[in-house]
Amino acid sequence: MTLDEIITALRGKKWVDLTHSVTESIPIFSAFPGVQRNTLYTVEQDGFFAQQLTFVTQTGTHIDAPAHFSLGKRCLDGLANKALLLPLRVIHKQEAVAQDADYRLGVQDIVDFEQQYGQIPSGCFVAFASGWSKRWPDAQAFANNDTEGNSHTPGWSIEALRFLFEQRQIAAVGHETLDTDAAVDFRRNNGLIGEFYVLDRDAWQVEVMNNLDQVPAVGAYLQVSFPNFAGAPGFPVRAIAYLPDDEC
């Protein structure tokens, strides 16, 4: 098959945008300042339109490079382009999360998934579809704090992450929340041990994903792209899922 034929076939598939739009009012990690936008030039006054945007590298739907948490590991410019196009597996747990906002995706969830869809192949991207993206862009709903100010959000269990990376040799993970870890685990462990585990393995992840409910459990591919800033620990991305033939 020629490259022209491959591109023509790909354009005939259904594409799903897995990213949120970035505005000045979106939810963001509590330690970070929000997005700032300044219009420098306008078409009406200057003949061209240009803005200055100020934001943290981990803003909106974004990729975390290993260097985000682990000293001496790769930044984004160390990730190979071909490593950013991966087979996609989506573990749908929206109903469970709707019943329990503190839900932790565990090893049994992966076992159940594989009993239905087959073993997760090595080198793929595994996404946790929690339905949390439906709360976007309401910052209060996204944080889901109780009356004492404690957040309640779902996340990966460390056991599930170890199983996927060590037993299945996957390449990367993604989720709809701001953090890899469930909020209860963050408080219990006094830190993001799941996120550290992923990045310390020199792997990468995508956070704050959108529209995973539109992607089937198996058969899709994920493409992630971002600007080529040298030495960046992360950046907002455009993440696209290419769906299989039977989902067109």
* pLDDT higher than 80, residue 246: no
Q: What is the pTM of this model?
A: 0.96
Closest CA to 75 of 235, 203, 237, 233: 233
**Is the CA virtual torsion 193, 94, 167, 219 positive or negative?**
negative
Task: Share the mean pLDDT of the chain.
Answer: 97
Q: Over the stretch 45-67, which tens digit does the pLDDT of each residue have?
A: 999 999 999 999 999 999 999 99
Q: What value does the mean pLDDT take over residues 110-131?
A: 98
Q: Which residues pair with 223 in a beta bridge?
A: 85, 240
Instruction: Give the span between the Cα atoms of 183 and 67, in whole angstroms.
Output: 22
Classified as helix, coil or strand, 56 is coil
Instruction: Name the pLDDT band for 248 (thresholds 50, 70, 90).
Output: low
215 CB-near residues (< 8 Å, 6+ apart): 16, 18, 88, 90, 127, 129, 241, 243
